[in-house]
Amino acid sequence: MNGVIPDPSDPIRDDDALSRLKLAQALDRAIYAIAWERAWPNLARLLTVVGLFLVVSWAGLWLALPFLARAIGLVVFAGIAIAVLFPLIRFRWPSREEALGRLDRGSGIRHRPATTLTDTLTSQDPIAKVLWQAQRERTLASLKRIRAGLPQPRLALHDPWALRGLVMVMLVATFFAAGDERAMRLGAAFDWNGVLAPTNVRVDAWVTPPLYTGKPPVILSAANKEAAALPASGPLAVPAGSTLIVRSSGGSLDVVVSGGLKEVAPADATPKGTNEKHFTISGNGTAHVRAPSGQPQWAFAATPDQPPTITLAKDPERQARGALQLSYKIEDDYGVTGAEAQIGLRAADVGKDGAKEGDSKVAARPLFPPPQFPLVLPNARTRNGVGQTVKDLSEDPYAGADVTLTLTAKDEAGNEARSEPFNMRLPERLFTNSLARALIEQRRILALDANKNSDVYAALDALMIAPELFTPDAGCYLGLRSLALQLEAARTDDAMRDVVASMWAFAVTIEDDGVAGSVNAALRGAQDALKRALERGASEDEIRVLTQKLREAMAGKVRDLARRAEQNPLGPRQPFPAEVQLILDKSVELRQKTQNATPEQLEELAKQQDALRDQLQAYRKSANNRAKTGNDGANQSTRDRKCGS
């Protein structure tokens, strides 16, 4: 017998083929198991060294060491790795006999069954062949119990202190502790920049706060690598948005930042012969100058810019001429740079015209945006103060409407604050003429909702009923007629805005009686000019000239009042009588009902409209009879009244 496996091509019995295949597979597994047992202890030592290197890296040790120490540490780890791999030089691949011996031991059967199956018979004796065949059959019967078994590298003999387990625990802990800086901390071990840096390199670093804070720069380091005195209790507090500037006078410059620090391009050219880097500090973070070596690591705590606050110091007040006076209190950590008043219609008023419950109404469509105007600041950069602004909105289409007032304030950093909404009625110009008041009211209705143009047209049409009694002046009647035709022809928002402007001009003309309008305009202009001069701190000579112009305008107003008193000795104009006002209101209501009425309803509404006209004619006859019984002077004065007076 010899130790050579027979060639599978040799003529053998069929029942031996399966047993021989199982034996070959078991032999391969035994070879691999022996090889693993020989190599794994050395590989485990190498993996332990690699794990320890990762632990040291993720713990941030390389960031705290100078460049030379990093190089030395990396060389030490490389030497340890080579040392633990040195025994692999003696590694040899398991032989076939060693694998067969493992199979014999793994089967638990005496007389080496695996080795026996590989033996061959060289004798040609018939008796020997019979004995050989009987012996093979017994061996094949026990082949099912032949196995290579699992590898047993026995690491406990090579690492009795279980240091591999300790390294594994630290590896998991530092993996989560490093977070997003794992790659950066690992790469720091291979960064040797600055190991051969010249000794005469100067590094300067400082933090420049934003200009609006008014704070001076903070010096971090000076010449000869001397670090400035930083707070020992924690990171250096700087305003958010500050700029870290690091400058070196020789050699390369390498700065590593983390957290809320981000590198930006320098705004100005760097001095010749220097390297400079700029970083914006938007949040907490650190910065470390790795090259040249020997610089400390700086930690920063970014202090965010707090938003300003603005509140009403007292309720808004109406001035004598209808202007709006606002008093407000402003506070900010670094100073407010701008404030504004924003006015909008109340939510309840807007909702009344909107389709909230699925009805047929449409949302209101204002022709003009709500008024907005800047607020006067107590000083250029107000940190804490009370300001006051007077704004004349009496001519604005929103004048007299129920609105919500909101004050806003902004600082240099872009933070914006809003005050609590304040519900109020916007001041308006007071009109004593009843027709002018009616026009202004319809003007406001049209300006705040273009969808109500038909209602405004009905109101203008109602104001033209019985012109010989209520608008005896031909100019007033023609003006109303022109407004009604202009509104009827308006098909776009721009055209309706022109109607709004015409209604205001006509109402002012009626109120001021033409000549008085220029007098009032001159007085109003003189007052505004003097007010603006006082606000901007004009010279005494300019104030004196503007004051004289104001006196002259006031004198003209007094003369105009005296002239009007002589022309109208009966006193101020009176509004429409209550009976006439009731008839006008009913007429407007009937015209609104005709918009969606059926033919039968239109006939009934027409009859009601005729009845209202009859009532107006009867009232006219009664007024004429009363006028005849009065004196001629009073009667003549009554006929001369103009435009609803």
In our burial notation (b when 16+ CB lie closer than 10 A, e otherwise), range 471-502 reads bbbeebbebbeebbebbeebeeeeebbebbeb
Grouping H, G, I as helix, E, B as strand and the rest as coil, residue 613 is helix
Q: Indicate whether 289 pLDDT > 90.
A: no
Supply the range of the domain harboring residue 410: 309-425
DSSP output for 473-505: SHHHHHHHHHHHHHHHH--SHHHHHHHHHHHHH
Least confident residue range of 54-63, 230-239, 328-337: 230-239
Closest CA to 298 of 310, 286, 307: 286
Please tell me whether residues 316 and 381 are part of one structural domain: yes
Please tell me whether residues 147 and 74 are part of one structural domain: yes
Grouping H, G, I as helix, E, B as strand and the rest as coil, residue 186 is helix
Please tell me whether residues 247 and 162 are part of one structural domain: no
In a domain, 166, yes or no: yes
Please tell me whether residues 91 and 131 are part of one structural domain: yes
The residue written with tokens 């040249």 in the block is 292
Tell which wins on pLDDT, 324 or 19: 324
Q: Indicate whether 434 pLDDT > 50.
A: yes
What CA–CA distance (Å, rounded) separates 138 from 537? 124
Tokens of 417: 């604050």
Q: Indicate whether 498 pLDDT > 90.
A: yes
In a domain, 627, yes or no: yes
What CA–CA distance (Å, rounded) separates 637 from 43? 122
Answer for the pair 381, 465: CB distance below 8 angstroms, yes or no: no
In a domain, 7, yes or no: no
Average pLDDT over residues 63-73: 77
Q: Indicate whether 623 pLDDT > 80.
A: no
Please tell me whether residues 539 and 406 are part of one structural domain: no
Confidence of residue 9 (pLDDT cuts 50, 70, 90): very low
What CA–CA distance (Å, rounded) separates 322 from 344? 19
In a domain, 582, yes or no: yes
Please tell me whether residues 472 and 580 are part of one structural domain: yes
Single residue among 425, 443, 476 that ends a domain in this structure = 425
Angle at 462 between CA 496 and CA 637, to 5 degrees: 110
What CA–CA distance (Å, rounded) separates 580 from 470? 9
Answer for the pair 334, 305: CB distance below 8 angstroms, yes or no: yes
Tell which wins on pLDDT, 227 or 187: 187
Q: For 376-452, where are the alpha helices, taking DSSP H only?
A: 434-448
Please tell me whether residues 490 and 521 are part of one structural domain: no
Segment 382-430, tens digit of pLDDT: 788 999 999 989 899 999 999 999 999 999 888 999 999 999 999 998 8
Closest CA to 287 of 305, 265, 309, 262: 262
Average pLDDT over residues 176-197: 70
The pLDDT of residue 535 is 73
Confidence of residue 500 (pLDDT cuts 50, 70, 90): very high
- Bridge partners (DSSP) of residue 309 are 331
Segment 43-58, tens digit of pLDDT: 778 888 888 888 888 8
The pLDDT of residue 370 is 94
- Counting the structural domains of the chain, the total is 5
Please tell me whether residues 441 and 538 are part of one structural domain: no
Q: Indicate whether 74 pLDDT > 60.
A: yes
The residue written with tokens 């793994």 in the block is 106
The pLDDT of residue 487 is 92
Angle at 419 between CA 413 and CA 421, to 5 degrees: 145
Single residue among 178, 211, 230 that ends a domain in this structure = 178
Please tell me whether residues 296 and 330 are part of one structural domain: no
Least confident residue range of 11-25, 96-110, 306-320: 11-25
Tell which wins on pLDDT, 609 or 508: 508
In a domain, 183, yes or no: no
What average pLDDT is seen over the chain?
75
Please tell me whether residues 483 and 346 are part of one structural domain: no
Single residue among 552, 567, 582 that ends a domain in this structure = 567
Q: Indicate whether 630 pLDDT > 60.
A: no
Please tell me whether residues 284 and 272 are part of one structural domain: yes
E-assigned strand segments in 6-117? none
Least confident residue range of 227-231, 421-425, 583-587, 605-609: 227-231
Greatest mean pLDDT among 50-64, 236-250, 517-531 lies in: 236-250
In a domain, 1, yes or no: no
E-assigned strand segments in 82-202? none
Confidence of residue 560 (pLDDT cuts 50, 70, 90): low
Least confident residue range of 9-23, 168-182, 328-342, 543-557: 9-23
Q: Are strands 372-374 and 324-345 parallel, antiparallel or unpaired?
A: antiparallel
In a domain, 357, yes or no: yes
Average pLDDT over residues 58-71: 77
Least confident residue range of 155-164, 199-208, 299-308: 155-164
Count of Cβ atoms closer than 10 Å to residue 575 Cβ: 15
Tell which wins on pLDDT, 630 or 470: 470
Segment 132-141, tens digit of pLDDT: 666 666 666 5
The pLDDT of residue 444 is 94
Please tell me whether residues 634 and 517 are part of one structural domain: no
The residue written with tokens 């990171």 in the block is 235
Tell which wins on pLDDT, 530 or 578: 530
Torsion sign, CA atoms 455, 457, 463, 465: negative
Give the CATH number, domain containing residue 373.
2.60.40.10
The pLDDT of residue 373 is 94
Element (H, E) at 407: strand 402-411
Amino acid at the residue 523: L
The residue written with tokens 């930006």 in the block is 264
* Count of H-run helices and E-run strands, the chain: 20, 16
In a domain, 3, yes or no: no
The pLDDT of residue 248 is 84
